Structure 1
Amino acid sequence: MIARAAIIGFGEVGRIFARDLAARGVVVAAAWDTAFADLGSRASKEAMAAGVVRAASATDAVDGVDLVVCSVTAGSDLAACRAAAPGLRHAPFFLDVNSVSPGTKREAAAAVSAGGGRYVEAAVMASVPPKGLGTPILLGGTHAAAFAEAAADLGMDLTIFSEEVGRASSVKMCRSVMVKGLEVLATECLLAARRYGVEKEVLASLSDTLPHPDWAELARYVISRPLIHGRRRAEEMREVARTVSEVGVEPILSVPIADRQDWSAARGAMLPAAITSSADLGALLDAVLKQNS
């Protein structure tokens, strides 16, 4: 049974997991985020609004809890695990939900295990906001089965994938080549088509070639995601490139996908939320093109 939890990384995923754990009766004892150093940061404001204690350090945050959820950016995963490790002597479950390469997961597992924590690899297989704690997750590591049993009453959609750390993440990261690649392909394709004034014809052709009930809505959605979350996605794609290279395959496309995600993030940062979340594909394309002029 899991009665007390801590959140490392109080971004979108961390906030959602904290909310849903509390709704299931788990005491979210504390959270830690590097942004807590700034009282005006979104992470600080969200933690205060949720009534979550902002710990002074990762070590302080994990003190005495049964579960640690690590939900930082991909580039910060290993540092966050190492920062929390000195506070894990009481052997809590350490659920690493970050999108990183199998090699990075193994390094994170070593750091957590050295501190006494029970590392559980978690490959999150869909966007978190729609289902929250119920998002499908593949679990890996020797403590995966014990965690699934302890979390049985939390409403989580857990599949024990492998006792070997890294295999679950290999599924997620290889999938990301396609998913994040589709986002940047749609961006480049439709921006150019909009400039030529042929986006309707291009969408119609795509619908014939790759059947989908609403290609315009699909394109709008996948183009909007990197505008909003491109920085995080770019970090993930650089871990994807590492994933691909770890098995001797050259990441010819993964690195440029990361660069285009950064490109989208830079333009999205200059657009109002009403535009990046707009249901109008044409308006979204025009706004991005204006930033690119």
Structure 2
Amino acid sequence: MTAILGLGEAGRIYARDLRAAGLRVRGFDPYVQAGDDVEQVPSAEQAVDGADLVISLVGARAAESLAQEALPSCPKHAVYADFNTGSPALKRTLAELAAAQDVRFADVAVLAPVPRQGARTPLMASGTGADAFAALVRPAAVPVESIPGGAGAAAARKLLRSVFMKGMAALMLECETAAGAAGEREWLRAQIVAELSGDVDQLIDRLVQGSKAHAARRVHEVEDAAGYLAELGTPSWVMDASRAWLASLLDE
């Protein structure tokens, strides 16, 4: 039996898909009524009673308090899988709480938006329960990469990925906003697509090495770009950060 703690959007999707794959699913959420997607019980203790797998999807802020509430009621053979996006330190704390109850812990990083692929969303897991977690969800065709390094290793990789993905999102927002104000949205988007459609590995090397080799010139170019965005009346937060990075390279 699988217990899902937290029945927001992702929790309901996992409940639906795991149940459709033949797994028995029980859920708990004091704020959400999940309807027919899951057998819902009024407490975390009831949800985890007799569970082989416990999935926490309550958000990082509530993850520790929920673990303290639920873990004492988990069976000793269970795997407690924390899906919440949190720091490596938080995951290590959760692992210690699980170990104190003789429960295996899986630090699970969700590597893509859950609504897009449901339970087929790629996952990465580390910790004492990582391999057991992968085995438990295998009947539902859930893709899991188990990695070494203990609890926190998967979270660390997820956050490194977030530096890229959320940083890229901020860059795209700045580009779209400025290009829209300038009446050049289609042209700039075509430029971006052309750059990202080529050899991206080569592009990364060119951006990193080129920035180091030509930092002084690029500082001035970024200052001019930020000045133009000021004329357009649009934010230049990414350009300001770019200037700081390039200026730091001048001292190397």
* Common topology (TM > 0.5): yes
Q: The residue matched to 2:54 in structure 1 has which SS?
A: strand
Equivalence for 1:156: 142
Is 1:88 paired with 2:70? no
Which amino acid in 2 is paired with 1:108? Answer: L
Amino acid at match of 1:173: L
User: In 2, are the aligned partners of 1:140 and 1:161 still within 8 Å (CA)?
Assistant: yes
Pairs aligned (count): 200
20, 27, 42: which one aligns with 2:17: 20
Equivalent residue number for residue 239 of structure 1: none
Query: What secondary structure does 1:152 align onto?
Result: helix
Match of 1:48 in 2: 35
| Match status 1:104 vs 2:90 | yes
Q: Deviations over 1:174-209 (max 9, x none)?
A: 001110111122122212321232212222332343
Structure 2 partner of 1:183 = 169
- 1:264-275, aligned counterparts within 5 Å? none
**Could you list the runs of 5+ residues in structure 2 that have no partner in the other structure?**
199-237, 242-252
Shift of 1:51: 4.7
Q: Distance in 2 between matches of 1:9 and 1:102?
A: 21
Identity %: 34
Question: Of 115, 126, 147, which residue of structure 2 is paired with 1:140?
Answer: 126
> Which whole-Å CA distance do the structure 2 matches of 1:143 and 1:93 have between them?
6
Letter in 2 for 1:12: E
Q: 1:76-123: CA deviations, max 9, x gaps?
A: 222222221221244311111111111111011112222332211111
SS of the residue corresponding to residue 154 of structure 2 reads: helix
Report if the CA contact (8 A) 1:142-1:163 is conserved. no
Tell which structure's C-alpha radius of gyration is larger.
Answer: 2
Task: Give the partner amino acid of 2:91.
Answer: K
Shift of 1:130: 2.6
**Partner SS for 1:176:** helix
Say which SS state the counterpart of residue 81 (structure 1) adopts: helix
Pairs within 5 Å for 1:1-293: 4-29=1-26, 31-35=27-31, 43-44=32-33, 47-53=34-40, 55-211=41-197
Query: Helix, strand or coil for the counterpart of 2:49?
Result: coil
Tell me the secondary structure at the aligned position of residue 81 of structure 2: strand
Displacement of 1:126 in angstroms is: 1.7
8 Å CA contact 2:2–2:24 kept in 1: the answer is: yes
Q: Judge conservation of contact 2:60–2:85 (CA < 8 Å) in 1.
A: yes
Aligned 8 A contact 1:144 1:163 in 2: no
Residue identity opposite 1:24 in structure 2: A
Q: Which runs of 5+ in 1 are unaligned?
A: 36-42, 213-252, 257-293
Could you tell me whether the CA contact under 8 Å between 1:88 and 1:112 is conserved in 2? no
Q: State TM-score, norm by structure 1.
A: 0.63
Q: Per-residue deviation at 1:19?
A: 0.7
Q: Which amino acid aligns with 2:66?
A: A
Please tell me whether the aligned partners of residues 74 and 100 of structure 1 are also in contact (alpha carbons under 8 angstroms).
yes
3-state SS of paired residue (2:105): strand
CA distance in structure 2 between the aligned counterparts of 1:59 and 1:116, rounded to whole angstroms: 16
Q: Secondary structure at the match of 1:139?
A: strand
DSSP-derived class of the 2:62 partner: helix
How large is the RMSD of aligned CA atoms in angstroms?
A: 2.1
What is the CA–CA distance in structure 2 between the aligned matches of 1:128 and 1:142, rounded to whole Å?
24
What is the distance in 2 between the residues matched to 1:156 and 1:51?
18
Cα distance in structure 2, aligned partners of 1:174 and 1:163: 15
Question: For the structure 1 residues 188 and 34, does the alpha-carbon distance in structure 2 shift closer, same or farther, using more than 3 Å as the test?
Answer: farther
> Residues 78 and 198 from structure 1, CA distance in 2 versus in 1: closer, same or farther, beyond 3 angstroms?
same
Match of 2:232 in 1: none
Q: Does the CA-based 8 Å contact 1:98-1:122 persist in structure 2? A: yes
Distance in 2 between residues matched to 1:140 and 1:174, nearest whole Å: 15
